[in-house]
Structure 1
Amino acid sequence: MKKILIPLFALAIVTSCGTAKISDGNASHPVSTKHNKAFNNAYKEINAEDLKKNLYVIAADDMEGRDTGSKGQKKAGEYMINYYKNLGISGPKALGSYYQKVPSEFMKKRGGGNLPDSENILAFIEGSEKPDEIVVVSAHYDHVGTKNGVVYNGADDDGSGTVAVMEIAKAFQQAKKAGKGPKRSVLFLHVTGEEHGLFGSEYYSENPVFPLANTVVDLNIDMIGRDDPANRGKQYVYVIGSEMLSSQLKVINEAANKRTNNLELNYKYDDLNDPEQLYYRSDHYNFAKHNIPVAFFFDGIHEDYHKPGDDPEKIDYQLLEKRTQLIFTTAWDIANREERIVVDKK
């Protein structure tokens, strides 16, 4: 997650398992997955063992901290792309690959110094009934690199979000193979340059592969593998922004939570006036500023945030599994309900 705070009221970014049963009886046109074999089978695809396997690769020392445009980040990206290829998930046809180049010049003009060219990585599952409507599940896969010869592995920030997106994609693909793929298309968006200023998501929002008018929601995942001192040992997740633009998104997410792992949903930072200003500090904001509903899932600021101790052996993989299952279930509902969620707040 981007470390530097932004000014209050800023108008632009200046820095940047068991079987689940979910039905939402409050939001219009709910999706019921009670006794839905396809959903239940997909849900069970998300497991701590696979999350751990992928994270130990993404956050390994030989990825060199995944700094934007670095050799290590590109190596991590290649691993992710091979993962999607093995699942049979392609990149968007409009791109012709999994890569969306984010030019050095774009980042330089926004305070990115001398960062080299980098890439967003996109994987895509086309919807069966409403393919032009896009549900985005996002996370940044960059971190802060190597400092004074010490690798900052970024296992939680944001290796945890990266592998969660990969696992959610696997779950949707399992449903598709069973003939029960999502009605709406789902874009699995791994963005670069977040730590330097949310550059990858900003570039995507200004150069969208799919029209922003057709983008239904962004569920953004940035640090969901650990706990912070205020919640030590608790089964919780911070949720930020879910009711800023839509009256339905928070309702859908809470229903998904109650009927799955029933985590404590903490809204401490879900306030535009909060001094930490977290609503503005991760990649969802580049969707929100275009009036696209967002929910940001986060575990808080812990003692290894942006420090070399953010390593994969410190991740709570059971809690990471539960949080990933919650986000998948929320995405499943939004992707499969009859009407797209409303945008009724400003």
Structure 2
Amino acid sequence: MKLFFYLASAMLFLSCNSTSQTTSEKSSNLDYANTITSQSLMEKLYVYAGDEMEGRMTGTSGQKKAVEYIRDFYMANGVASAFGGDNYYQEIPASYFNGRSNNKPSENVLAYIKGSEKPDELIVISAHLDHVGTDSDGNVFNGADDDGSGTVAMMEMAAAFQNAVKDGNGPKRSILFLHVTGEEIGLFGSAYYVENPVFPLGNTVANLNIDMIGRIDPDKKDNPDYLYLIGSNMLSQELQDVSTEVNNKYINLELDYKFDDPNDPNRFYYRSDHYNFAKNNIPVIFYFNGVHEDYHKMTDTPDKIEYDLLAKRSKLIFLTAWELANRDERIKLD
């Protein structure tokens, strides 16, 4: 009888231990990252960069459809508003745009996951939701890469983090998913956010900004497994070190710093929404695939996107955000 009891106890221990290990394995950061797939990105982008969005020019009906699409996604996936309730919009008055959006108001979209241990510290992941609209003949500039790619990538990341929350593995620090308007006409949405922050800028650990990550620079045709990083060590060497370590451990893209110079003649460091965070002494990484033949043309369409590469780049950014959100100490400014 005692022998039976010991054997039964041992089997129960092994079964429970196996279950625990399986649960732990299923709850790893890489497993959550792998919920970001080329298929799900494609499905979203064909809607978001479709003709019905009318090129998403700031303040237009097409841009309003775009923010509704983003908001509805977050509501459906249980990702909370940064304001509480059903309001995901940070309203921006028409006057703020200095007459550059047909004197119409616009809005940023803010979704939020509260940190489990350090909720006052915040990682901001951003992408711009607008594009350049239509021409005088009504032809649509879809903006699939610019910045439909960054928009749907961020939505997928938010869903992956929310899956972690459901499993009891939510991030230690809070994460703000910030979709900004008015980028194409002067970085207005991100400027408005930093001037009217929903969370104190002093508590913002880093900004990971995603603007065009779905295509291949013609100069990289022979080695497409890359991503340009801009600004990653300008305010915090530790941020670049974390980025490098995550990439080496999980993804193994070529991280190219070709444009990582304030004096670069292209001035990319100054040309996307991360710059408004950097101006406020917040460490940034700007993720970018470089310009291509369809940049700001009607031919920047969803069929041109490299979806497997988009998924791989999105996973890198997700895993970098995961590390920044869960490490013991926040990264330090230099």
- For normalisation by structure 1, the TM-score amounts to 0.87
Matched, 1:269 2:254: no
SS of corresponding position for 1:55 = helix
Aligned to 1:3: none
Deviations 1:100-136 (A, max 9, x none): 011110111xx62634100000000000000011100
Deviation at 1:221, TM superposition (A): 0.1
Matched, 1:241 2:240: no
- Identical counterparts, % of pairs: 59
Once residues 251 and 98 of structure 1 are traced to their aligned partners in structure 2, the CA distance between those partners, rounded to angstroms, is 33
Task: Pick which of 194-203 and 248-257 moved more.
Answer: 248-257
Contact 2:27 / 2:164 at 8 angstroms: preserved in 1?
A: no
Once residues 133 and 112 of structure 1 are traced to their aligned partners in structure 2, the CA distance between those partners, rounded to angstroms, is 34
Question: In proportion to residue count, which structure has more helix?
Answer: 2
Once residues 108 and 50 of structure 2 are traced to their aligned partners in structure 1, the CA distance between those partners, rounded to angstroms, is 20
Once residues 270 and 177 of structure 2 are traced to their aligned partners in structure 1, the CA distance between those partners, rounded to angstroms, is 21
Larger of the two Rg values belongs to structure: 2
Contact 2:59 / 2:102 at 8 angstroms: preserved in 1?
A: no
- For normalisation by structure 2, the TM-score amounts to 0.90
Relative distance call for 1:340 and 1:189 in structure 2 (3 A) is same
SS of corresponding position for 2:265 = coil
Deviations 1:300-341 (A, max 9, x none): 010000000000000000000000000001000000011110
Deviation at 1:256, TM superposition (A): 1.0
Q: Given the alignment, which residue of 65, 78, 86 partners 1:75? A: 65
**Equivalent residue letter for 1:43:** A
RMSD: 1.4
Matched, 1:112 2:112: no
Once residues 195 and 47 of structure 1 are traced to their aligned partners in structure 2, the CA distance between those partners, rounded to angstroms, is 28
Count of matched residue positions in the alignment of Structure 1 and Structure 2: 309
SS of corresponding position for 2:251 = coil
**Equivalent residue letter for 1:154:** G
Relative distance call for 1:174 and 1:283 in structure 2 (3 A) is same
Once residues 220 and 269 of structure 2 are traced to their aligned partners in structure 1, the CA distance between those partners, rounded to angstroms, is 20
Deviations 1:191-226 (A, max 9, x none): 000000000000001000000001110000000000
Deviation at 1:39, TM superposition (A): 1.5
Q: Given the alignment, which residue of 315, 319, 326 partners 1:336? A: 326
Contact 2:217 / 2:292 at 8 angstroms: preserved in 1?
A: yes
Aligned to 2:11: none
Matched, 1:185 2:174: yes
SS of corresponding position for 1:259 = helix
Contact 1:139 / 1:283 at 8 angstroms: preserved in 2?
A: yes
Pairing 1:229-308 to 2, within 5 Å after superposition: 229-233=218-222, 234-308=224-298
**Equivalent residue letter for 1:117:** P
* Structure 1 unmatched ranges of 5 or more: 1-33
Q: Given the alignment, which residue of 164, 174, 198 partners 1:209? A: 198
